Amino acid sequence: MESVWTQTCKIPPRASLTHSVEADAAVIGAGMAGVLIASALQSEGRRVVVLEAGRTGSGQTAGTTAKISSQHGLFCSKLIETFGTERASKYAAANQAALAGFRRIITGRGIDCEYEELPSYVFGDDAASLRAEAEAARSLGLPASYTESAPLPIPAAGAVRFENQAQFHPLRFLAAMAEGLEIYENSPVLSVEDGALKTPLAAVRAQQLVFACHFPFVNFPGMYFARMHQERSYIIALENAPLPEGVFIGAEEPVFSLRRSGRLLLLGGGKHRTGENSSGGRYDILRQKAAERFPGSREVAHWSAQDCITPDGTPYIGRFSASRPDWFVATGFNKWGMSSSMVAAMLLPDLMAGRESPNAEAFSPSRFEAEAVPAMAENGAQAVKGLVRRFFEVPDEAAADIRPGRGGIVELGGEKVGVYRDENGAIHAVDIRCPHLGCQLEWNPDELSWDCPCHGSRFDRFGARISGPAQEDIASQP
Ligand SMILES: Cc1cc2nc3c(=O)[nH]c(=O)nc-3n(C[C@H](O)[C@H](O)[C@H](O)COP(=O)(O)OP(=O)(O)OC[C@H]3O[C@@H](n4cnc5c(N)ncnc54)[C@H](O)[C@@H]3O)c2cc1C
Ligand code: FES
């Protein structure tokens, strides 16, 4: 199902790239990150071309909850522990500047995008850790306090409150920002060679380029696939539910996220590593919570999205790799991609012009913290698990066991294949080998999709690619 954003905003289409173009900078991806970065570069007088594989705003940005916040869960204590106070303060300052950036652009240009400033809360039952978090946040210069009297839609002992945060309609904002940009849609970048970005019909030659395609699809250099994984979450939109004054996220598992949008309450949760949802039931978790907390409410929409998760919980924004000085990247937003996209739009133009950028150090993709090693090892182990599964795990279902509207992995003609049985009983079989790096795809019954547990690529039930890092469809099996 479409998100409430795509239901209420149709961004005008753009042509594909059919002729070769020269530019100062090329941006790959027209989601929140790509559009904001391109806009910032263009405002410095540079010729910028944006190449988008699908439609503008059709990626994860279409499924966000669109809170604009410098409160990224319970993160300040952890950030100080990992980075030290000085570097953690730079992270906090960059995100506060991002909030101010949204306010300046939206009010300055008069963008009609349901922008609203309100407090943000992280709520929970462990009052001691919430108090400590409020203290840690204040020490980083963030507008934080601990409160036991927040207007919480889900009861809890207390909350960390941040002042002057915001929410908006992400696609209305994006549509306005995209207006003056040179964007080519349905123009996937297939390869990058010697400064030329090749799309199916033509190429862009650019002096500098930015990967703002959510998950960088170039494996080497950079090795972003070893440095992050993807996590999926689900959202239901409820009418006839309370509409609290604030944006909210839980501190404890299972985590629920809430905000209002017009007359609707958006309830998010049910997160899991992408590719690890073979039993399904994620929307049911949300529906149960809604029935328990908001009896009388009615679901009017549901959707899901995913984001890239880094080992230390902070994004990679900066130079793509030491060996490619003209390549830049903005990824690993840890489900805080609104403020992180704006951070990228503020940092990258400085770095690309060779200027000092005071907070860049906190986002450097080349950082390597000892604390990140276990998570990197976990990502590697997950990839090995995905490969081992493909070669050695024997499917325990037969095609005949798959009911209409369901999918699963079966053995057909001596080969392991993914099978989806449509409502008419017809079987659609696909190769369950992920075209990215070969892991075994898993069935996601909540979205009727084939998802990769290694790095999070997704394909629809017939094998068409939904999102990367894989860039190709999976083959159908005869
Ligand atoms: C459930 C959920 C809720 C969230 N809520 C919030 C929130 O409240 N606040 C917040 O700050 N963040 C939130 N986030 C995070 C935020 O939505 C994302 O971080 C952000 O939308 C990512 O934007 P992006 O531009 O990086 O990616 P995308 O929007 O996915 O854009 C990337 C674009 O690149 C294109 N692309 C890919 N490959 C190629 C190629 N080869 N050539 C050309 N184009 C290509 C894609 O088609 C896509 O359009 C949430 C995330 C989830 C999963
Ligand atoms: S996404 Fe990397 S192997 Fe599937």
The average confidence (pLDDT) of the chain is 94
308, 331 Cβ separation under 8 angstroms = yes
Q: Which residue has the higher pLDDT, 478 or 469?
A: 469
71 occurs within a structural domain: no
Phi, psi for residue 339 in degrees, rounded to 5: -65, -40
Nearest CA owner, ligand 2 atom 1: 455
Tell me how far apart the terminal alpha carbons of the chain are, to the nearest angstrom: 29
Q: For residue 76, give both structure tokens.
A: 């300040």
Whether the per-residue pLDDT at 28 is higher than 70: the answer is yes
Ligand with an atom nearest the CA of residue 229:
2
Whether residue 144 is contained in a domain is answered as no
pLDDT band at 398 (very low <50, low <70, confident <90, very high): confident
Q: What is the pLDDT of residue 384?
A: 64
Question: Which of 220, 309, 457 to probe ligand 2 with, by most ligand atoms within 8 A of CB?
Answer: 457
CATH number for the domain harbouring residue 420? 2.102.10.10
pLDDT band, very low/low/confident/very high, at 135 (cuts 50, 70, 90): very high
Calpha distance 444→451 (Å, rounded): 7
Measured between alpha carbons, how far is 335 from 63 in angstroms, rounded to an integer? 11
Residues 441 and 433 sit within 8 Å (Cβ to Cβ): yes
Q: What distance in angstroms lies between residue 215's CA and the mean position of ligand 1's atoms? A: 9
265 lines ligand 2 (CB under 6 A): no
Task: Identify which of 410, 328, 409, 456 has the alpha carbon closest to the alpha carbon of residue 41.
Answer: 328
The pLDDT of residue 323 is: 93
- Structural domain includes residue 451: yes
Q: How much is the average pLDDT of 251-268?
A: 97
**Residue 11 domain-assigned (yes or no):** no
Task: Please tell me the predicted confidence (pLDDT) of residue 390.
Answer: 56
Cα separation, 122 vs 285, in Å, equals 20
Q: Is 460 among the domain residues?
A: yes
Parallel/antiparallel/unpaired status of strands 442-444 and 449-451: antiparallel
Contact 185, 14 (CB under 8 A): yes
Give the tokens for residue 64. 């966000």
Q: At what angle do helices 32-42 and 337-352 cross, to 10 degrees?
A: 30
- For residue 438, give the amino acid letter: G
Atom of ligand 2 nearest to the CA of 457: 1
Residue 209 in any domain: the answer is no
Whether 469 is in the pocket of ligand 1, judged by its Cβ within 6 Å, is no
The answer to whether position 435 is within a domain reads yes
Residue 424 lies in a domain: yes
pLDDT digits (tens, 9 = 90+) for 345-389: 999 999 999 999 999 999 999 986 445 556 666 766 676 666 566
| Substitution site in 452, 465, 474 for ligand 2 pocket (most atoms within 8 Å of beta carbon) | 452
For residue 475, name the pLDDT band (cuts at 50, 70, 90): confident
CA of 31 to the centre of ligand 2 (A): 21
Name the residue with the closest Cα to ligand 1, atom 19.
Answer: 337
> Does the structure show a pLDDT above 70 at 142?
yes
In short, whether 71's Cβ falls inside 6 Å of ligand 1 is no
Q: What's the mean pLDDT in 77-84?
A: 94
Q: What is the rounded distance in angstroms from the CA atom of residue 403 to the CA atom of residue 339?
A: 43
Q: Residue 392's CB: how many other CB atoms inside 10 A?
A: 7
Question: Minimum-distance ligand to the CA of 56?
Answer: 1
Q: Is 466 in the pocket of ligand 2 (CB under 6 A)?
A: no
Q: Is 305 in the pocket of ligand 1 (CB under 6 A)?
A: yes
Mean pLDDT, rounded, for 319-336: 96
Collect all residues with Cβ–Cβ distance below 8 Å to 25 and sequence separation of at least 6: 38, 41, 46, 47, 48, 49, 206, 207, 208, 209, 210, 352
Work out which ligand 1 atom sits closest to the CA atom of 32: 25
CA distance 384 to 389: 8
Q: What average pLDDT does range 106-112 have in this prediction?
A: 98
Percent above pLDDT 90 for the chain: 88
- Domains identified in the chain, total number: 1
Between CA 417 and CA 327 the distance in angstroms is 38
Taking the CA of 236 as reference, the closest ligand is: 1
| Residues of the domain holding 437 | 380-477
Grade residue 392 by pLDDT with cuts at 50, 70 and 90: low
Q: Do the beta carbons of residue 173 and residue 293 sit within 8 Å?
A: no
